[in-house]
A and B are shown apart, each in its own frame.
Chain A
Amino acid sequence: MDFTKRFWCGSLRPEDAGREVLLAGWVDALRDHGEVLFAHLRDRSGIVQIVFSPERSSADLCRAAELLRSEYCLVVRGRVEKRRAGTENANLETGAVEVFAAVMEILNASDTLPFTVSEKAMAAGERESEAVAEELRLKHRYLDLRRPSMQDNLIKRHRIFKCVRDYLDEKGFIEVETPTLTKSTPEGARDYLVPSRIHQGHFYALPQSPQLFKQLLMVSGFERYFQMARCFRDEDLRPNRQPEFTQLDLEASFIDEEFIYGLVEELTVRMFAVGGIDLTRPFPRMTHQEAMETMGSDRPDTRFGLRFIEATDLFRDTRYGIFRQILDRGGRIKGINIKGHSESLSKNVLQNEYAKEIVPAMGAKGMTWMRVVDGKLESNIVQFFSREEQAAILERFAAGNGDVLIMIADASPDLVHSVLGQLRLHLAERLEMIPPGIFAPLWVTDFPLFEATEEGVTSSHHPFTSPHRADFDPENREELLGLKSRAYDLVVNGEELGGGSIRIHDRNLQSRIFRSLGLSNEAVEEKFGFFLRALDFGTPPHGGLALGMDRVVSMVLGVSSIREVIAFPKNRSAQCPLTQAPSDVSREQLGELGLLDLGGDKALPGTVKKEDLLEYLSWVSRIGVNETERPALEKALAEASLLAAAIDKMETDAEPVFSVAPVKGRIRAGGEPVVSPYSESRALFANAPAMKGRYFKVAGILE
């Protein structure tokens, strides 16, 4: 068969009736009507129905068609005909036609499938597709990717990438590739390392971002650079993160923030348009401080209100003891007005759920709530407030009947913001205040340049970010903490899609930043020597930004996980179920790379010898051991090993038993799954040492 004459399955329409066509693809689904057999044939373009009937096809062909099974690969020649009225399939774009097979050849059979690939029902009322466990999908990703929805995701991803490249090309940007084998930087604690066989005991690192290289390209005078860069980060597990991810990295010279905003806004509008989403320009902007003060987040979700209202001054002379004490310690009181929700937020919900459980789990010591009924405040503590205070609250919060006011008071303003920020999201979700189908982009600007550490300060972004002003004293911690940076983040619907900054191009300023960070000249030389040297050769002013493309694509396509827009992703445990990466390697391989006894002379903190049996067992069974317990435990292990030796010699032909009274085929009466009533109530949480909202709280995976 001559495949060049092939038609796309998905392209056939009633106008094609009467044509002889050659089709190739996979059997999506089959339906046997006795003598007549219907098959859905699927290729990348779509699905069309093939008919094998004794009236129109030879007896041999009908017999051959009986052998067909799902996902067989076929080529078919046949005649397109309009379906009889009433037999059209509205689920298919080709649903008004069918192809009567004249010739068919099975190009390849398929094994029994681990899950159904088909997503399109052959008749109305049938199940369209089934939910399959993600681990199984990833293990057979090549089959999962046969599904039209997954193909559509990757095709749209391609469209978005192409639109980025076209647009940036239009704007004079050059795509340049930077190396994947680079140098590990001392602070790059999450680097993936690649051993060098030639230089044994030395390692390359995979880039977490091409930051330094792209700045070097600006030094080289490319002026406008971009790259669809693959970046790597060996982070602890978090949902919706991948060890490798794709980032649009761009940098330009002789520009300022306005250039970046204009460029990236237009780019974002075009990318979202691929998914049929209209974004309006210009994107609103908000300083970091305003975002924190009004929404308690540096990536606020602006699709709904619930902005914070300042109330500290209303209680300057209050007699309410709790507020009094907080204000005496210089604290803050802020609140939100949940308009018209007093029905859904009953006294019981506010007091027993929010004040007692949810808000303490968010980190606050307490919460004050009031409901507005008949123009008056109603609450368990309202009697502590004077008439003037009550009137001032109503006025400040613009409160009317049916409103619910929630206030958080604490000595630490940061805590007030953080808790109200979490509460804002919690309430919006619970009360369904987020309008569906809305996209709210936002620039967050003017980030603090430094964050406080125990000893001094550290960069909030990275040490190459330009400060707003250069006339600061590197020794003055208070002044440093007040500095703002020329960094910006692009946030959509409360998710950070990317960020960047205008960089430092002046060697002297860069040195003073390093001094502020408390880095010695030697440390700076070791970490960034090559880069600082480059700044000495006429570096132009420059800046740029990086966008997380996996995240952008998943948001444009409206899928819940970035794994849905990556062809071969790792699972939630950073493993690839398909290839089983990461895998063990042979001793020979390690030997050739000089890795057999590496690090012997470098006693790194935290990398305790795992060959110690007690340490090993302590680790695998997650039971810590202190020095005083060690002797007793060593003795216990010696005893265990003696017992093992004692029975090792014994001979027996008996089958192992794991129970003295084995139970077979035990099924719960009725066979119905039973949900414990306690899983619905909050009783299971009553014993938990720490909670957050409706979850058990544990220590962070990252330090």
Chain B
Amino acid sequence: MSGIFAYRDGGSVVSGEGLLKGSSISVQANMSVAGWPTEAGSLALKGFKAIEDATVVKSLRDQGASIVGSTRMSELGLGLCGDEAARAVAEGFSAIALVTEHLGEARLSAAKAGLIGYKPSYGLVSRHGLLGLIPSMETIGILARSAADIATVMAAASGRDERDFSMPVEEVPDFLNGSGQPGIRTLGWIRESAACLETDDRKAFQRCLEGFAKAGLTPVEKSMKEFDLFRTVHQIIGSVEASSSAGKYDGVRFGYRTPSAKNWNEMYLKTRGEIFGPVIKPFLFQGAYYQFMEYDVFEKACRLRSHLMREVQRLLGEVDALVMPAVRRGFDPFEAASVPALYDAFLFTLPANLTGLPAVCFPFDDGGQARCPGVQIIGSRLSDAGLLALAGERMQTTTKES
């Protein structure tokens, strides 16, 4: 248990009235809870104690949830090396876990533990108080055993926050009354994504598609020849944003500072040289490379991002949602300890982060041939409630038939 939590709340397990009355929720160690150590898995925030609650924490508590502790995480939340959020739910320490999504961390940790993992539409949940890394992509993701639990959390946590300036003004989906009515009939699957799977995995994915068909949905084959571009564009933009947003980690106002600096410049060089670990550091150097040497490449990547968003939107005009594999045999996201390994492991989940679309990942098992530890449904912007309803329906069937 001590291995799961970075900090565990001793006192305030009592929960109040509201939608989440009696729910226990764990946060990650980069989400601010006033007075809690908030080190984000990084030496850069060594000893850092949050001064106030993140908006999401406050919203959940206001609806009666009890925040039981913060789970251990990868360095600054990039990838899943050392992430324990899924274990907190799987082993019953909390009913629900919040996980920062940069690449698909919530979805893939759910897949590993047989849970539902969900990434909301970008801008739906306030990130005020989240110590993030890639501002244009990251969202607060959610893990739980049931889609209904996730929907309830979203009902409490979504909506405009004056203190998060990246949130657009828009109608928030109705998470409480969408249950049972996903409104999704056609599911597009991208040929080029399935082509990235080894034979066994591809067959399993095909059987899942058949399983969906049996359940009354219509799988439709689609093509997107730029599928390979998702990871490249994500990596270029993601590294630049990380390099920029990690600029604040300087050992002056908080965190670790090198004990042996002769002067000001050396203090920054050494401190920042020592605080970043073996996964983040190469990523930051890649970002610095584009920022300082090849800025045109960054801008080009932003153009391609726009192009990719347009292409996905085109597909979503033709089908109700997209279905995509999530995991690949031989690419364990929990073992991915280098930048290329990360991008290999999160290949199928990162498109949703790059495009800001909602996605839900759940284990598929219809009791027969169709069995897959994690399959993903990606929908249009703000179609979150429908995706969760569909996941809920599938999970219920699973439980009924197994």
Contacts and interface: CB of A to CB of B under 8 A. Distances in A.
B297 A696 contact: no
B339 interface: yes
A614 interface: yes
Contacts of B267: 698-699
Contacts of A696: 252-253
Contacts of B266: 699
Interface of A: 236, 613-614, 616-626, 629, 632-633, 635-637, 639-641, 643-644, 646-648, 650, 652, 654-663, 666, 668-669, 678, 683-684, 686-690, 696, 698-703
Interface in B343-392: 355-356, 381
A678 to B, nearest CB: 6
Interface of B: 47-49, 51-52, 121-123, 136, 162, 165-170, 229, 232-233, 235-236, 239, 243, 247, 250-257, 261-270, 272-274, 276, 278, 281-286, 288-294, 297, 299-307, 309-310, 338-340, 355-356, 381
Given A661-B356, A661-B381, A687-B253, A656 B302 contact: yes
Given A663-B167, A703-B263, A687 B356 contact: no
Contact of A629 (B51, B169, B281, B381): B281
Contact of A621 (B48, B285, B300, B305): B285
Of A632, A687, A700, chain B has the most CB atoms within 10 Å of the CB of A687
Contact of A624 (B51, B233, B269): B269
Contacts of A624: 269-270, 272-274
Contact of B257 (A656, A666, A689): A689
A656 B297 CA distance: 11
11 contacts: A614-B285, A623-B269, A637-B286, A650-B304, A654-B310, A657-B309, A658-B136, A660-B309, A699-B266, A701-B263, A701-B264
A668 B162 contact: yes
A633 B167 contact: no
A699 B285 contact: no
A642 B269 CA distance: 27
A647 B265 CA distance: 35
B300 A650 contact: yes
Contact of B166 (A616, A633, A659, A668): A659
A623 B288 CA distance: 10
A341 B278 CA distance: 55
Nearest to A687: B254
B128 to A, nearest CB: 12
A354 B292 CA distance: 45
A657 B306 contact: yes
Nearest to A628: B278
A623 B49 CA distance: 24
A497 B216 CA distance: 89
A663 B310 CA distance: 19
Given A661-B123, A689-B256, A690-B257, A621 B284 contact: yes
Contact of B284 (A623, A635, A662): A623
Given A656-B306, A663-B169, A687-B49, 12 more contacts: A617-B292, A621-B291, A637-B285, A644-B290, A647-B236, A654-B304, A657-B302, A661-B170, A684-B253, A686-B51, A688-B254, A689-B254
Contact of B281 (A633, A660, A700): A633
Contacts of B309: 657, 660
A689 B269 contact: no
Given A643-B236, A701-B264, A658 B302 contact: yes
B278 A632 contact: yes
A451 B381 CA distance: 70
Contact of A678 (B51, B165, B284, B310): B51
**Which 8 pairs between the two chains have the least Cβ-Cβ distance?**
A624-B273, A660-B356, A636-B282, A656-B302, A687-B254, A654-B306, A699-B267, A640-B286
Contacts of A641: 289, 294
A640 B52 CA distance: 38
Contacts of A654: 303-304, 306-307, 310
B270 A648 contact: no
B264 A644 contact: no
Of B256, B265, B288, B355, chain A has the most CB atoms within 10 Å of the CB of B288
Contacts of B263: 236, 699-703
B233 A684 contact: no
Contacts of A626: 273
Contacts of A700: 263-264
Contact of B283 (A236, A614, A636): A636
Given A623-B269, A650-B304, A688-B253, A703 B262 contact: yes
A433 to B, nearest CB: 32
Contacts of A703: 262-263
